[in-house]
Amino acid sequence: MSSQDGLEHELDVLLAKAGATVPPHLKGGILAGYRDMKVMAAKVRQPRTAASEPSNVFSLKGFARTE
- The answer as to whether 39 is a domain residue is yes
pLDDT at residue 67 in the model: 60
Q: Is residue 62 part of a domain?
A: no
Q: Please check whether residue 10 lies inside any domain of the structure.
A: yes
Residue-number span of the structural domain to which 9 is assigned: 3-46
Structural domain includes residue 35? yes
Domain count, the chain: 1
Other beta carbons less than 10 A from residue 13's beta carbon? 10
In a domain, 33, yes or no: yes
Q: Is residue 56 part of a domain?
A: no
Tens-digit pLDDT profile for residues 19-49: 999 999 999 999 999 999 999 998 887 887 7
Distance CA(10)–CA(34), nearest Å, equals: 10
The reply to whether 57 falls in a domain is no
